[in-house]
Structure 1
Amino acid sequence: MEIQDTGEFCFPQLLNSSCRKLTIQWTKAMFLNTVLSIISVITVVLNLLVIISVSHFRQLHSPTNIILLSLAVSDFLVGLLLLPLEIYRNTTCWYLGEIMCAVYYYFACSIPYTSIGNIILISADRYVAICHPLHYPTRITAVRVKLCVFLCWLWYGLYSIFYIRDQIIHLIKPDKDVSCLGQCSIIFSYVTGVADLILTFIIPVTAIVVLYMRVFVVAVIQARSMRSHVTFVSVQHPSKVKAKRSELKAARTLGVLVFTFLLCFCPLYCYTFIDINLIDTYNQYLLTGLFYFNSCLNPVIYTLFYPWFRKAVKLIITLQILKPDSCETNML
């Protein structure tokens, strides 16, 4: 009779229902855990700076920055909640129970998906600003943007319930053939997977790329127009030159934002589509880390391209925001 090594199981006393411990090579696991831990801290700090900057300084309460604030909140939650739990899930057995596993996957769906929704809103905002500048003040107002941000969070919050519905059903009616104790793996049907691929990847990516391509074409036309008239306009209307340059810079920033989004999100979706049943492997852990790494890159993009953010960070670090009336500081 073959005797099994009980040390291989998460719950040695429950061999018939216990999962085996993770088999990721120790050196690879330690490397990824260290890298993701650093990314988690940087993500929290940088996005917290964005949140404080936009929230504190009144001059930054523009419709565009309201969307950036929403994006920073979702990215902040990725660094604060999702990355640490992902590290824990791939380092040891899951001892937090199946309910906490379902809660984790709910937030693992709703928070990153909300980031995707915010990037769509940013793309739409830049599209109207650059392609229809005369209508921008009337179409894009603070009230409408706040409503869109609220609906974005509400939609993905409700959608995530649909995404983990198989997980919820499993909690109500446990199926021993589906999972074992000590493992936190997402449970969903083929239909759910295809619907998720279409609703959270294909449609959003198509919308973002189409909007950006339209913005890019118009921005190129405006750049050529600026070069041919820059001497006359700079003398007669210097403020218009500054405004157009600001819009073109915003278009470039959007381009970098879209590129990093596709670079971080596409590999995991493609991998999941190719082999949807391969779970708890080193490759999936690596691609999930890359997926979450986008939340760290977004505030870095702001640092590189937005002078107001660099100025705000300097005021925050030097504690000048604690001074009376610091919220009225000129940031632009």
Structure 2
Amino acid sequence: MSDNDELCFPQQFNISCKKPRVSWVSVLFLQFLLPIISVLTVVLNLLVIISISHFRQLHRANNFLLLSLAVADFLIGLVFIPGEMLKLTTCWFFGDHMCLLYSYILVVIICSSVGNIVLISVDRYVAICYPLQYHRRITITKIRICISLCWLYSAFYSITFVKDGLSLFATSCQGECVFFITYSAIVIDLFITFFAPISIIIFLYIRVFLVVVFQARAIRSHSTAPQQGPVTARKSELKAARTIGFIVLVFVICFCPYYGISLAGYVSQNVSITVLCIFCINSCLNPIIYAMFYPWFRKAIKHIVTFNILQPGSSKANIL
């Protein structure tokens, strides 16, 4: 095989990139595991989006936050995973402008995912620590505004982040989609999109955990009380807090390796692909967590797969 056969554009050998060489381990991940993750991520998060959007009983403030997170996870399965598979297994034939657009969309998705997790943590913090003031402080209108601001911030921040790397982007060879940024920009981005949000999330959940422990003891001590309504409501809030806490824990575990290799600089191809798989699995796991802990999601799936949502008045169905 000649050297030209290994180039993305053999007729432009002086500016063409070489075709990526993928080991058998990487092929196993890229051609078997990642496509499965991509399909599951798209399908499962689409079920979440349809469920919360369609059924009126689910039009609650905390569920709209889950809807926003599901949209971000859906885009990861639809755009991020196929794009990374393409970049790692073959040449990029869509040109520099599409690569720049792809890079911009990725930053928007990742920033919005982190922002949604922060909003979810704040919502659970208020619900557990200030239960009597929750419905006054957290309304559907306020949640919609916060979600809109989260996506708008992600969009504008991504423009700034991509613009800073635009001068270095042009130096890449043809047939490769690599977005170069300076190390200082990476550190700033890690602080803005990872360390600062994670610190807020951990702080809030430490407070929530302490309150949950206190309230759990109170519920056990009053389990035989004649008025069970408030106790049942508190149990529901505590269960929701534990579920969201599990989602946040999975998010942190899956995102840490992804951001870690950004600081590490160059790492082997196998390590990069493994970390990519861990990162993508997070978006697939969230709907599975909903199915495990939320009965309403299982009921909603049943209505969707049996096409009952096409019936008149199905949006008013009782699924809680």
Query: Which band: TM-score by shorter chain?
Result: over 0.9
Shift of 1:26: 3.9
Q: Could you tell me whether the CA contact under 8 Å between 1:102 and 1:167 is conserved in 2?
A: no
Shift of 1:19: 1.0
Shift of 1:43: 0.5
What does 1:220-299 correspond to in 2, within 5 Å? 220-232=213-225, 236-275=226-265, 278=266, 281-299=269-287
Residue type at the aligned position of 2:70: A
Q: Return the alpha-carbon distance in structure 1 between the equivalents of residues 217 and 33 of structure 2.
A: 43
Q: Return the alpha-carbon distance in structure 1 between the equivalents of residues 184 and 25 of structure 2.
A: 37
Q: Counterpart of 1:154?
A: 152
Q: Could you tell me whether the CA contact under 8 Å between 2:29 and 2:273 is conserved in 1?
A: no
Q: Could you tell me whether the CA contact under 8 Å between 1:130 and 1:215 is conserved in 2?
A: yes
Q: Could you tell me whether the CA contact under 8 Å between 1:185 and 1:279 is conserved in 2?
A: no
Q: Could you tell me whether the CA contact under 8 Å between 1:51 and 1:69 is conserved in 2?
A: yes
Q: Could you tell me whether the CA contact under 8 Å between 1:57 and 1:328 is conserved in 2?
A: yes
Residue type at the aligned position of 1:325: G
Q: Return the alpha-carbon distance in structure 2 between the equivalents of residues 88 and 328 of structure 1.
A: 43
Q: Counterpart of 1:211?
A: 204
Q: Counterpart of 2:64?
A: 66
Q: SS of the counterpart of 2:224?
A: helix
Unpaired stretches in structure 1, ≥5 consecutive residues: none
Unpaired stretches in structure 2, ≥5 consecutive residues: none
Of 301, 304, 316, the match for 2:292:
304
Q: Return the alpha-carbon distance in structure 1 between the equivalents of residues 44 and 50 of structure 2.
A: 10
Q: Return the alpha-carbon distance in structure 2 between the equivalents of residues 218 and 13 of structure 1.
A: 67
Q: Return the alpha-carbon distance in structure 2 between the equivalents of residues 280 and 326 of structure 1.
A: 52
Shift of 1:283: 1.9
Q: Could you tell me whether the CA contact under 8 Å between 1:106 and 1:161 is conserved in 2?
A: yes
Q: Return the alpha-carbon distance in structure 1 between the equivalents of residues 189 and 165 of structure 2.
A: 15
Aligned residue-pair number: 320
Q: Return the alpha-carbon distance in structure 1 between the equivalents of residues 2 and 314 of structure 2.
A: 67
Task: Output one character per residue of 1:229-275: Cα deviation in whole Å (capped at 9) or x when no partner.
Answer: 1101xxx2222121111011011112211111011100111121122
Q: Return the alpha-carbon distance in structure 2 between the equivalents of residues 160 and 290 of structure 1.
A: 23
Q: Could you tell me whether the CA contact under 8 Å between 2:168 and 2:181 is conserved in 1?
A: no
Of 192, 200, 208, the match for 2:185:
192
Question: How many percent identity over aligned positions?
Answer: 50
Q: SS of the counterpart of 2:223?
A: helix
* TM-score, normalised via structure 1 length: 0.93
Q: Counterpart of 1:101?
A: 99
Q: Counterpart of 1:321?
A: 309
Structure 1 stretch displaced more, 17-26 or 216-225: 17-26
Q: Could you tell me whether the CA contact under 8 Å between 1:166 and 1:187 is conserved in 2?
A: no
Q: Could you tell me whether the CA contact under 8 Å between 2:41 and 2:283 is conserved in 1?
A: yes
Q: Could you tell me whether the CA contact under 8 Å between 2:25 and 2:270 is conserved in 1?
A: no
Shift of 1:20: 1.3
Shift of 1:31: 3.3
Q: Return the alpha-carbon distance in structure 1 between the equivalents of residues 269 and 102 of structure 2.
A: 18
* TM-score, normalised via structure 2 length: 0.96
Q: Could you tell me whether the CA contact under 8 Å between 1:164 and 1:187 is conserved in 2?
A: no
Q: Could you tell me whether the CA contact under 8 Å between 2:26 and 2:273 is conserved in 1?
A: no
Establish whether residue 124 from structure 1 lines up as the match of residue 127 from structure 2.
Answer: no
Structure 1 stretch displaced more, 26-35 or 299-308: 26-35
Q: Could you tell me whether the CA contact under 8 Å between 1:123 and 1:212 is conserved in 2?
A: yes
Q: Return the alpha-carbon distance in structure 2 between the equivalents of residues 28 and 78 of structure 1.
A: 20
